[in-house]
Structure 1
Amino acid sequence: MERTEEERFKQLSDQIIEIAVGNFEFRYKPSPRLDAIDTVGVLLNMLSEEIAYFNFGSYANFLLRPAPVVLIFNSNGKLINSSSCFLEILGYAPLLQDSELSIDTYLTEYSIPLLTEEFNNVTQEPNPRVFPLDFNTADKRIFRSNCSLSLLVQKQEHLYALLIYEDFKHKNLKEGNGTLKKQSKSVRTRSARNRVLVKNLRMYCLRNLDKPLPSLKEIGLLHRTNATKIKAEFKKAFGTTIYQFHLEERLKWAALLLQTTDLPAKEISRKCGFTSAAHFSRCFKKKYDQTPLSYREL
């Protein structure tokens, strides 16, 4: 039996929450209608695949920051859901479904007013403000991380998502008195800069899918680095060149447009930055083993 619009929207909402708490295996099932709701579902499926591959795929040893840990809570501060590793790493028992625990339970006394201030000023901006918070562990230690707060608008109530950005592992925990294990500051700084560089290069590719990339020298000037570093760091992170990555993403976008729009293949070729329809067709067939028109008819 075909699902109602309410049931389909519910599935979209469930998928977004699953993605937020770190489950990238959930998939939206398109209906026979292939309408706007299904288009959003397909985009979410692509997002899940991209995040899963970006964090756990063939280049799993790259240096980019992993997906953030997420806590979902309501207007009263009650924890609704969380990434599976959150309570485990802090040393607490798993969150029960009917638990009345507040997010404040896991914050230090100093951090509660910081979160309250952010809570009172939260918006639906796409790039929320980043702020630091300290979390208490079960064995009286502290985990400090940069976080951001986002508003999730629901039908009956507002939910909030707290994103914890730092690597959520035992090595980041410190003693309550503030003593830290000795680490090489220069190595950490260099590694952090490389992570930021590769992240920015990836976003640069994704924001310019409608045109070919310029030379490595020009890309280096834009990102205040050089061609050699771009080649080395991008290859280390993604296992491919920046140009091949860019081409793969353009072809993914083209495949999506073929499946979800009525645009002519020639127009899709132009929108995806190909210099000619013939070049687009050759590249598409090489990746998908069929022409764009054959792919659309599937």
Structure 2
Amino acid sequence: MDLFTKNPRLQAIREVLIELASGNLTYALPRSAHDDDTEALVLLINKVIEEFQKLLNADVFLNPHSSYQFVTRVVFIIDEHFKICNFNAGAPSFFEVDPDVLTNTPVATLLAPPSHTLWHTFTTQFLSQKRNCQTMELYFKTKGPLYLKMHTAISKLLYPHKEQPFMVMTIMELLPTDQLAHPLEHSYISTLSGYEYQEAVSQPQEKPTKEVVLHAEKTYEYIMKHLTDPTLTIPDIAKALHTNSSKLSSEFRQVFHKSIPEFKREQQLRISKVYLEALPTSIHTIALKAGFKTAAHFTRVFKAHYGVTPSEYLNTLYRM
């Protein structure tokens, strides 16, 4: 690790590779006056990033940043002991077990070792918190040697009798939209309160025009290049791209299906998680590198999203 911290050029290469591995193609390495193997590597990495950008921009209507959709695979009704009381018809086939095996089974028995510590921390805190919903990524066991990483949401339900189950656990898979055989006619969506569910019928949406997609892509690139600026605002972006805030926000939402602040916060959390896993540095440094004003602000936002503080998340990594 000392080799990286003492050599700024190697440090820059590592950070760009981390960004590249996480899907961010907006960075490039600065050139230097050196004529050595490190500079040759800089040229190669920049060339790889450039070729990736060409591939992704070959078809302007292909939006690589928003071409995926969450599909619900499993729904559990769980009690206050986090045991499964009921489940949807697809749950047994998903886990490749008989229905009787799932009934009254603790959720923990379905989890793979990398998620044991996170699940223990969650179950010991969730019931006593005012929060009604928690999302996290969990690793589940399979029949083979591999683990299955799934997005999971757990929501409290309100019942008049305490002896009844009062939580819903939804296990979702992120799939490319072109892999969905048919458009979803019905889906369940949760409100922000985390316990109310309502049926929603999906409506066909008009395809964004070429101009709108190009504008949204420019906004995406600008945000990613200035992600570490905690003072960045929508008017700032609009001014830099020679447009107005209303048009900028509208076009971005048409393509990415979320607001600019939502997208920026998601990217900050994503890259901070990558930094925590890859960089041997302090929480304060990671907070600043990810674009948060202070370590305290970063800790609050991280815990609100992932259910654990950055320090607690690091502890789970070290225990694996």
> If the length of structure 2 is used for normalisation, what is the TM-score?
0.37
**Greater relative contact order (CA < 8 Å, ≥ 6 in sequence):** 2
